[in-house]
Structure 1
């Protein structure tokens, strides 16, 4: 295995970094405790060998570089599950697997991190490795709401798996590594973690079962899942007050493949009412909405069209994705993405976050996923409502904007329907 150089703080009981050490590993042949580093800063050791005394991800008090034994920067690992009842998806008595996501330590996240590692078909990769049993499990529990499960599996690796530092192909012994072994390992680990979190079984053990009439309290669901998982769990309801998503948060000690997933409290509050929550059976068909006055812009056949304006600031976002205070606003279109959220485009092309971390719309950008809150009209990216810039544009100056807290001017980005 090859490791990048890693320096880790030794943290005192008071939480302060009192010293630094270089991790070592136990050589099984010689019986010696050896340092991780050789002359060029790399290590050749047993595949996936990691020191046992690594800190948990996101708990170090000094920045740690990427390595094959320390998941960074995505040190919060979320295992996400869905309960889709209309149309019914997956077994009637099981929440289905959605993914394993590496969020940043501040609750935001990166996506589509390495185009060179993308795959075209998860099923084809798994079949090439003879992973028949794994495919059978995935076909049963890892379901796409829109059908075509392979599309979801492929999307999950390309969006999230490529952001995991400890399963990069360079972390394998290159003399034995077969192309896409890390892809296979990503799917194996995701299913493995899912199988340790039987949400529907845990709920049923406490009398919370699918029903069109029975309702439950937020406290009942919270107490049940928290007791089984060992930490507060995030769960979400839809507009019918029906339970639909459950997210389990972890820190990680070691690598994705061989490390310990340690439960931590959810980094957000659960989005359900205090009472009247239903767990609807998977054959339930919701009533046709009768209220025509739904908040937010109305979708057209090509998506929702509108302007983007920094809340409380002059000007608007132009078609390149930059902030401009002179001239007219550009039109943007939000198109529902296949696996949740929205893709956004302007006359210049698809919009996404470029290598500098800025919003860009162009012919060369690939479509990335944004979130849009119909009630307040705000556009979010990477788990944050906040956007920032280095300055407010003046005269004919165009200013780049970026998601998160990275500039001297901060604002929310409002999507105003045309």
Structure 2
């Protein structure tokens, strides 16, 4: 069984009794995570630099700690499990999987949909928080609080069929000692330091606080700039690039969301975006942009969050994204920037 722990955002191995191993291989405790990801997974690094932050301001040290403590203890990330292992492949797979899972767990939106939002005065019950999360995840979530009754961590549990890096992650019932929050009086505090916040798929810890106007990613309308990340097979895998196609390597394109009626339109450096002949297209030739909506987790079109393509793109290949059924289904999340 494996667990993704949020708000901190780390992934660690949880054994049957709810404990986990730590710091299993000192020879693989890398001290240059930023450099490793910059070379092998720049889009993952870009996301982490915004949403996987160290509260003391030393992101590199924090990532090194998470990899050394938890990543080196995942058996399928051991060098012997790779057919053609190259040094640091294991760390790249670890952070790619952590980020892709994180993007499929929009806890902030799930809680907000149930009326549970950050507040400096209001408190919530454990039952209400658990109900909001369980109804979306499918199983109970381990909800942890600090000594001040403040919401501190969310633990999502999975059974992994196959390897961590390429296996199937199935949501599962929690193991271990259970939630540490009291039954009532739980505080869900806003992030300090600003007046406006924006969230993307993730947890309460993915809130970015600023005193300036920012783009929003909740409800049915988006505004501002962001990336369109693709979720397929339960994991984040690449993004939509400027022409409106799905690409799994390289840098994500920046899109601009503009409110329109009860939804919003999208545009990229190529031009306005529209559904044309059942396919997503962004081009200078598009004269009328399609109005999309957002359900708090995924981009929607005509009330559906399901999009399709004929095959998952690999290497430099791009795949056209359709609104009609094809061999591969996918969903699209918004990452505000």
Report the TM-score, using the length of structure 1 for normalisation.
0.44
Q: Residue 185 of structure 2 is aligned with which of 276, 295, 304?
A: 276
User: What RMSD over aligned residues (CA atoms) do the two structures have, in Å?
Assistant: 1.7
In 1, the alpha carbon distance for the partners of 2:60 and 2:18 equals 28
| Residue equivalent to 2:118 | 210
Deviation at 1:237, TM superposition (A): 1.5
1:112 counterpart (16, 23, 40):
23
* Alignment partner of 1:170 out of 67, 73, 80: 80
CA contact (8 A) 1:248 1:266 kept: yes
Q: Say whether residues 1:136 and 2:46 are aligned partners.
A: yes
Give the aligned partner of residue 231 of structure 1: 139
**CA-to-aligned-CA distance 1:112-164 (integer Å, 9 cap, x gap):** 111122211210211232x2211110011111122211111111111111111
Give the superposition deviation at 1:240. 2.5
1:150 to 60, 74, 96: 60
Segments of 5+ residues of structure 1 without an aligned counterpart are 1-75, 83-96, 286-418
Moved more, 276-285 or 157-166: 276-285
Unaligned runs of 5+ in 2: 195-337
Name 1:80's counterpart in structure 2.
5
Distance change (3 Å), C-alpha of 1:284 and 1:213: farther
| Corresponding residue for residue 283 of structure 2 | none
The total of aligned residue pairs comes to 193
TM-score (normalised: structure 2): 0.55
Query: Counterparts of 1:17-96 in structure 2 under 5 Å?
Result: 76-82=1-7
1:221 aligned to which of 119, 123, 129: 129
Tell me the alpha carbon deviations over residues 223-253 of structure 1, each in whole angstroms, 9 at most, x when there is no partner. Answer: 1111111111111122322211111111111
For residues 135 and 146 of structure 1, do their structure 2 counterparts lie closer, same or farther at Cα, with a shift above 3 Å needed? same
Residues in 1 aligned to 2:186 and 2:69: alpha-carbon distance in whole angstroms: 32
Map of 1:363 onto structure 2:
none
Q: Larger Cα Rg: Structure 1 or Structure 2? A: 1
Please say if residues 212 and 284 of structure 1, whose CA atoms lie closer than 8 Å, have aligned partners that are also in contact.
no
Structure number having the greater helix percentage: 2
Alignment check: 8 A CA contact 1:121 1:151 kept: no
Q: Which residue of 2 aligns with 1:126?
A: 37
SS class of match (2:76):
helix
